[in-house]
Amino acid sequence: MSLREAVNTVLDWHEQWQGQWPDYSPSPIGQLDTATLKQTLGELTERLNENYPFFHPMYVGQMLQPPHPVALTGYLAGMLINPNNHALEGGPATMKLEKECLAQLAKMFGFATHLGHLTSGGTLANLEALWVAKQKHPDRYIVYTDQAHYTHGRMCDLIQARHHKVKTTPEGTMDIHALQAFVEAQPVGTVVVTLGTTSVGALDPLNMVLMLQQKYGFRVHVDCAYGGYFATLAETDPDMAVFRSLTQCDSVVIDPHKHGLLPYGCGAILFQDPRVASIYYHDSPYTYYNSDELHLGEISLECSRPGAAAAALWATLKSFPLSPEGMGQILKQSRDAAVLLAQAIRTSEEFTLHLTPQLDIVTYFPTGPDTKTITEKTLALYESGLNSQTHPLYLAKLNVDASRFSALHPDIAINTDTVTILRSCMMKPEHVGVVPQIMDALFYHAKAINQSALV
């Protein structure tokens, strides 16, 4: 079914749904005549042309892609009614859909019990986890790594929690000895583990953190805003086995708007122990007047939340269940694409692989003798791909500390404080089929910048 047909199905349903109520005449105020509307939409779409082609397989930059058609039509269906999941009365149907989605996510994480809800994104979802961490242990530290998402530090400041950054290995994963040294010396309430860092997709050693937890008793929050959907492969792919240990964690964040095919505005927070509800609970007699059971509006920091996001997620999970055969297939394509690209880069002379990818982000750079040359080449190559009519290639850049870089590439001279390298998110299922084309384009631009450097 085409997107157009799917959209029409939704529009037909909506017309019928509205038709159940007595006729009324819409107010003339607010009616737009066709010409004005056409004009506005014409201008708007013209403005929207100024975008990178996130949909295209030659876009191998940031974690961006348009939503799946099923998510889009699911969202549209919800949005036409526009329920608000802040309360049962605001979104009777979508509140149920949201709960079903959360139950599916909880099952994927292996949570025996759960409490959770959708949020506007990973940042807000993490904020809730950190806020609960602070409420549980007001005087103890929240610990995260120097490669954790930059919002953890901000959010800890916001909630005025004591917080500490532990260092990471050159590969970007938590230095477990540094963590151990800190928890031995200081009271730690919660450790934030990142499964899939945003910059390179590095997986913190969750199992070792859990071993320390046995001894020190801190809580474990896992930020897998980006990597969480790889849990669909935990049982079938040994590289993803770490996700099996989510079952032992206190809270988890996942972003359906990253790897879950959803449009922006959809993150999720899940707690394993439903009793954290008592931390949120506030008696709000006006809004929640006729709901007996505790509902999602009562356990969220945000008030208004789009029921449409729940509708979109529900429809997407119905089409792509959280199993190796469902969503897992899509994640596997991404993972395979990254492995293939890394292999191709490793065997090329023009490019050097920075890190072996742990998920689907590949980091690499144009081969060079020193960090200044590498940075210059990276920037030139980035621009060359971006501005090419014949060989468009959309890459992303990543700044790496020279010391971290040097630990991985001891033969390269260091003559800058940081080095800029290339970063490619292989998140679209099409990527796996176009690795040779991506390499061709990389070679083409590597040659182009070398030639222009000679002129």
Q: Which spans of this chain sit near ligand PLP (rule: CB under 6 A)?
A: 121-123, 126, 149, 151, 194, 198, 223, 225-226, 255, 267
Q: What's 275's DSSP letter?
A: G
Number of Cβ within a 10 Å radius of residue 238: 8
- 151 or 316, CB closer to ligand PLP? 151
| 89 burial level (CB within 10 Å; 0-12, 13-18, 19+) | middle
Closest residue (Cβ) to ligand PLP?
122
| 22 burial level (CB within 10 Å; 0-12, 13-18, 19+) | exposed
CB of 354 to ligand PLP, least distance (A): 18
CA 349, chain centre distance (Å): 33
- Bridge-based pairing of strands 394-401 and 418-425 is antiparallel
173, 202 Cβ separation under 8 angstroms: yes
Which residue reads 């892609």 in tokens?
Answer: 65
Structure tokens at 99: 């709960």
Edge-to-edge strands of the sheet including 141-145?
115-119, 267-271, 251-254, 219-223, 188-194, 141-145, 163-166
CB of 97 to ligand PLP, least distance (A): 20
CB of 118 to ligand PLP, least distance (A): 12
- 122 or 189, CB closer to ligand PLP? 122
CB of 121 to ligand PLP, least distance (A): 3
CB of 126 to ligand PLP, least distance (A): 6
- 87 or 129, CB closer to ligand PLP? 129
CB of 244 to ligand PLP, least distance (A): 19
CB of 255 to ligand PLP, least distance (A): 5
Q: For the chain, count helices (H), then strands (E).
A: 14, 12
- 153 or 326, CB closer to ligand PLP? 153
Structure tokens at 105: 């996510």
Query: Can you say whether residue 400 is alpha, beta or left, with left for phi > 0 and alpha for psi between -120 and 50 degrees?
Result: beta
